[in-house]
Amino acid sequence: MAKTEFSTLPVHLGIIMDGNGRWAKKRGMPRTFGHKAGAEAMRKILRECRELGIRYVTCYAFSTENWSRPPEEVAVLMRLFDEYLDEAHERFDKSRLIFIGDKTPFSDKLREKMLRLEAETADIEGFTIFLAMNYGGRDEIVRAVRRLAQKAAQGEISPDEIDESAVSRELYTYPAPDCDYIIRTSGEQRISNFLMWQGAYSELYFTDTLWPDFDTKALHAALEEYQRRSRRFGGI
Ligand code: FPP
């Protein structure tokens, strides 16, 4: 696809990848078929984001609420994560990978792979992927607050020093900047506990396109809309 020049790009893009199940249903296939197609869409979109020069992308892969899905569906998602991690391992020279969310409920094997990939990609600059897995925005804020309370109780900081930047420093995404733009696919118009703190000022983009159909052309359309909005925002 011809390269489009974007004068303004989000530095930090958030993506809520929604609609895999409906995409599969439309084709008379099981929901898990949609997740496989969704994983493929994610690979292509992340590659394009990197090539365009976006610095940080946070993808919502699995929320704290997703555990309540049927066990077979959760198992397929875990297998897809596992495959993605194996393959990310082979091309880790290009992107830094950080898993945001509570890693404790994942299998030992998956958790070890996550930790290893984070360590192996820690020095990569230029493009960072935050993969939100067992992530919840409120949970992230609660953890940050708890950590600050511990520091205060231990006398490391005074309660008066707890301000917005102190909270930001305890978030999973620190030191990445706040999220500029959040894309949500599949027609739902909600934030669903995604980047509750970092998204306080995000521009929001909702599209009816189901996630597996969200291709580079759809990404470009979303980024063109971002340019229009930031031009207005930046006007006198
Ligand atoms: C929402 O669609 C999507 C998810 C809950 C999972 C996102 C997972 C992927 C994109 C694939 C695998 C990811 C990695 C990291 C390899 P939905 O199931 O809620 O769709 P529906 O709203 O149509 O039911």
**Domain with 107 in it:** 12-135+176-228
Cα gap 71→138, rounded to integer Å: 25
Question: Annotated catalytic sites, by residue?
Answer: 18, 66
pLDDT tens string for the chain (236 positions)? 455 678 899 999 999 999 999 999 999 999 999 999 999 999 999 999 999 999 999 999 999 989 999 999 999 999 999 999 998 877 766 899 999 999 999 999 999 999 999 999 999 999 999 999 999 999 999 999 999 999 999 999 999 999 999 999 999 999 999 999 999 999 999 999 999 999 999 999 999 999 999 999 999 999 999 999 976 655 55
Cα gap 130→177, rounded to integer Å: 12
In this structure, is residue 166 part of a structural domain? Answer: no
Contact yes or no for 54/11 (Cβ under 8 A) = yes
- For ligand 1, say whether the CB of 17 is within 6 Å of any of its atoms: yes
In this structure, what DSSP letter does residue 192 have? T
H-only helix segments in 121-215: 137-153, 164-169
- For ligand 1, say whether the CB of 58 is within 6 Å of any of its atoms: no
In this structure, is residue 7 part of a structural domain? Answer: no
- For ligand 1, say whether the CB of 212 is within 6 Å of any of its atoms: no
| Domains contained in the chain, number | 1
Record the pTM.
0.94
Cα gap 2→189, rounded to integer Å: 31
Instruction: Indicate which residue's Cα is closest to atom 24 of ligand 1.
Output: 21
Query: Quick one: which atom of ligand 1 is closest to the CA of 80?
Result: 16
Query: Quick one: which atom of ligand 1 is closest to the CA of 41?
Result: 10
- CATH code, 189: 3.40.1180.10
In this structure, is residue 32 part of a structural domain? Answer: yes
In this structure, is residue 218 part of a structural domain? Answer: yes
CB hemisphere CA count around 115 (13 angstroms): 10
> Order of strands, edge to edge, in the sheet holding 181-184?
96-100, 128-135, 56-63, 12-16, 181-184, 203-206
CB hemisphere CA count around 174 (13 angstroms): 13
Q: What share of the chain is helix, strand, coil (3-state, %, to 5)?
A: 50, 15, 40
